[in-house]
Structure 1
Amino acid sequence: MTDQFLAEQHTWILFRNSQSDEADSWVMLTRDGEIVPIPGEKILHTSRPRVGIDISTPRELNIANPFSLKCDNGIAYITNERVIYLPARPSEGFKSFFTPVLNFTDTHVHSSWIGPWSWGGTVRPVPGGGIPAHIPRVEVKFTFRDGGHSDFQTKFEWLKERLHHAQELGLAPGQNLEPPPPYEPGPVGSPTGGAGVGAHQQQQPPPPAPNEPPPDYEQAQSQAVTMRLEERMREEAERQ
């Protein structure tokens, strides 16, 4: 029962930290338009201004109702967990876009003889992110009108490699991706000198789970069910 409670509480925390007033956006912003980070999140790179974004359904999917969205001016961010895009002038139809870093695949740079450089790839949409559930993947392209595509690509590829490495080690995405400092044993008998009897005596038992669910628990549970249903629909669409 305790494990189930912790899992449900984790779902609630994710919901609360991703909840937004907009049904089609999971990027929470302050009144000044600044990104509200999720727990443990840090912005690693901010693009130059005048970055465009183009989101479209891959042609090979042959979907009757394809999805497309385009914005010519905004800023792209790379955090230790997400790629985020904020348009310079948000509208009712488009206020923000984000995807987890590891949801990006087949990334590449595209050059043009007469136009700006672009970078993008294939993205698996997140549940509740505003992209219809019958679309299993979309193509996302960022166009860097003031340059900076190389710095963006370099930071992204570095981060993706570190996240894959962290995943292999069983670390959560928000955890520190840097290796821990080397272990330095202290003198024999000191508190830092290994796992002696004294060290075991100092361990504290874990706090008991609360008896009551957190506020908005039922709403979070309903949201979690909807997210799982959308993810299942997307998986079925991918198999077709």
Structure 2
Amino acid sequence: MADQFLAEQHTWTLARNAQTNDKESWVMLTRDGEIVPIPGEKILLTSRTRVGLELSTPKELQVAEPFHVKSDSGLAYITNERVIYLPARPTDDFKSFFAPVLSFSDTHVQSSWIGPWCWGGVVRPVPGGGIPMDIPRIEAKLVFRDGGHSDFQAKFEWLKERLLHAQELGMIPGQNIEPPPPYDLNPAGPSSGAPGPAETPDETPETTPASQRQPPQPAPDEPPPDYLEAQSQAVAMRYEERMREEAERR
């Protein structure tokens, strides 16, 4: 157990040091409080109101400063990329929480005799997700005070099953613990107002003497650079599109 903890601690310390600002949240909001999706992201489920969240360090992890965050009310979301939680009353210390779907393990539903139903599991932190990166894993628990836990569990398991299947086909990264891509606030594209240097119809191409003409190059017998990667990305995009269409039909 000690060796496992040291290995996890080392791995996640390296990941933390690789980030320049791991305390900021990747969950951007509009002025109306709506989630700004990252590229390609789509919300599949929004919970009912008054969902609580509790994040705590597992007892078996002997960390110097145990981590604990609790929110009594908020909203939980499932997108095709991640699980998101927004507290009803954010603070300077806790504004949001998110984690990729495949970062969760041992997810389950539980309840007490008189309390509300809960959904939770163990999650591996990612940069910007709201959990310190020096903690290898954290216990997360959502408390559904107004119901809706069964719908949340069903949608989560449905999505996780399809992501695991896509992982087996090599359509998504094997670990799926990387942070989502940053928001593209200033998309840059080619200007369509001014013609490029090639659009000069008045210019007459110079003739090249026959002695200086190069013989035609033979056709390459290998695919162009990044061809296989582009093909894999195209397959992954088609798979995600089918997954979103299936989610809309449910």
Structure 1-normalised TM-score?
0.62
Counterpart mapping for 1:199-238 below 5 A = none
Cα distance in 1 between the residues matched to 2:94 and 2:133: 18
Q: Deviations over 1:82-111 (max 9, x none)?
A: 000011122212111100000000001111
Q: Deviations over 1:22-62 (max 9, x none)?
A: 94311111111110111111100110000000000000112
Secondary structure (helix, strand or coil) at the match of 2:156 reads helix
Secondary structure (helix, strand or coil) at the match of 1:84 reads strand
Superposition deviation, residue 133 in structure 1: 2.7
Q: Which runs of 4+ in 1 moved over 3 A?
A: none
Structure 1: gaps spanning 5 or more residues: 1-19, 174-204, 207-240
Question: Match for 1:112: what amino acid?
Answer: S
Q: Does 1:129 align with 2:129?
A: yes
Counterpart mapping for 1:1-240 below 5 A = 23-172=23-172
Secondary structure (helix, strand or coil) at the match of 2:91 reads coil
Superposition deviation, residue 132 in structure 1: 2.4
Superposition deviation, residue 161 in structure 1: 0.2
Question: Match for 1:97: what amino acid?
Answer: F
Cα distance in 1 between the residues matched to 2:87 and 2:130: 15
Calculate the aligned-residue CA RMSD, in Å: 2.3
Given that residues 103 and 124 in structure 2 are in contact (C-alpha distance below 8 angstroms), is that contact kept between their aligned partners in structure 1?
Answer: yes
Cα distance in 1 between the residues matched to 2:138 and 2:130: 12
Cα distance in 2 between the residues matched to 1:75 and 1:128: 19
Given that residues 96 and 129 in structure 2 are in contact (C-alpha distance below 8 angstroms), is that contact kept between their aligned partners in structure 1?
Answer: no
Tell me which residue corresponds to 2:15. Answer: none
Secondary structure (helix, strand or coil) at the match of 1:61 reads coil
Cα distance in 2 between the residues matched to 1:109 and 1:100: 19
Given that residues 110 and 117 in structure 2 are in contact (C-alpha distance below 8 angstroms), is that contact kept between their aligned partners in structure 1?
Answer: yes
Question: Match for 1:91: what amino acid?
Answer: T
**Mean Cα displacement is larger for which, 74-83 or 24-33?**
24-33
Cα distance in 2 between the residues matched to 1:24 and 1:110: 31
Structure 2: gaps spanning 5 or more residues: 1-20, 174-223, 226-250
Superposition deviation, residue 65 in structure 1: 0.9
Secondary structure (helix, strand or coil) at the match of 1:108 reads strand
Q: Deviations over 1:162-199 (max 9, x none)?
A: 000111112248xxxxxxxxxxxxxxxxxxxxxxxxxx
Tell me which residue corresponds to 1:216. Answer: none
Aligned length: 158
Superposition deviation, residue 120 in structure 1: 0.4
Secondary structure (helix, strand or coil) at the match of 2:34 reads coil
Secondary structure (helix, strand or coil) at the match of 2:29 reads coil
- Relative to structure 1, the CA distance from residue 130 to residue 155 in structure 2 (aligned partners, 3 Å threshold; closer, same or farther) is closer
Secondary structure (helix, strand or coil) at the match of 1:127 reads coil
Question: Match for 1:30: what amino acid?
Answer: T
Question: Match for 2:73: what amino acid?
Answer: N
Cα distance in 2 between the residues matched to 1:171 and 1:157: 19
